[in-house]
Amino acid sequence: MIDGRALAAEERRVLADRVAALAAQGRQVRLDAILTEGDAGAEIYAQRQRAGAEQLGVGFQLHTIPNDADEAEVLACVQSLNADPGVHAMMMFLPLPDGVEAERVQAAIDPAKDVEGVNPANIGNAVFGRRSLVPCTALAVRHLLERRGVDLCGLRCLVIGQSNIVGKPIALLLMRSDATVFSVNRSTKDLPELARSCDVVISAAGVPGLVTPEWIKPGATVIDVGINRIKGPDGKSHVVGDVQTAEVAEVAGDISPVPGGVGPVTVAMLLRNVVESAEQAGLD
């Protein structure tokens, strides 16, 4: 089992040193977040984000916008943060107010401060192999593989799921490591057979129990990105991934479970993007 919590703690220690080095030069790293009022889940997530940032010595400022704000108001908030040199990094909690299109607002975030990697300019630069801020879940998957010593060059890797923010960026990063990447979706035929031919299987479909032991080549590395809430036999709600972890673990080599795998590392990767934005800002 890959211990994502331990890897995240190790990364946070490295980041704390980098934040301290910037502070020693008189530079306070700062992350600003935009939150639409009224969504309890997003509010909890924002408070967790604050705690995680402040633990590293990163300043965190939350900008709450009314839930009846229009697009011009949300864009004005983004633009004021773009223009503020004290803000190194920006993130935006969804959902936005009704009628405000997330993609248009995300495209307005300064790519150099876009720590969630949601501005299409960042993914475009990543395609060209240029410096860019890549979505944190994809960074987390790559980090887990790297830290387990998986040399991706020449390996057959399956990425289940093709969303713009999760599946496609994962596939892109694997390609950049010279892996042979199969990117599949819910219409893909003969998926179990393809999966069985792969050295690495990464599932980001959002389907509990999708990946069974029959899909896995003995010794293959399995990374579960799914986060699904299901009701257990006790009637209580549980978080599970896409992989039948206990059964697949009998066949797989390394396996990253849910919870405790990709999730905590994703949070650490967001903070890594924040620190990199601040370091880069100093070079301009």
Interface contacts to ligand NAD, rule CB under 6 A: 137, 160-163, 165-167, 184-186, 188, 204-207, 210, 225-228, 262-263, 266
Closest CB 48 distance from ligand NAD, rounded Å: 13
Shorter beta-carbon distance to ligand NAD: residue 35 or 223: 223
User: Which lies closer to ligand NAD via its Cβ, residue 42 or residue 75?
Assistant: 42
Q: Which is nearer to ligand NAD, 201 or 204 (CB)?
A: 204
What minimum distance in Å lies between the beta carbon of 58 and ligand NAD? Answer: 19
| Min CB(77)–ligand NAD separation in Å | 24
Q: Which of 193, 135, 186, 140 minimizes the C-alpha distance to 164?
A: 135
- Least distance in Å: CB of 252 to ligand NAD? 18
**Among the listed residues 152, 99, 86, 142, the one whose alpha carbon sits nearest the alpha carbon of residue 117:** 142
Shortest distance in whole angstroms from residue 20 CB to ligand NAD: 27
Find the shortest distance in angstroms from Cβ 102 to ligand NAD.
13
Bond before 85 cis per omega within 30 degrees: no
Which residues neighbour 244 within 8 Å (Cβ) at sequence distance 6 or greater? 209, 211, 212, 213
Beta carbon of residue 192, minimum distance to ligand NAD (angstroms, whole number): 10
Residue number with CB closer to ligand NAD (161 or 257): 161
Identity of the residue, 69 or 93, whose beta carbon is nearer to ligand NAD in the bound complex: 93
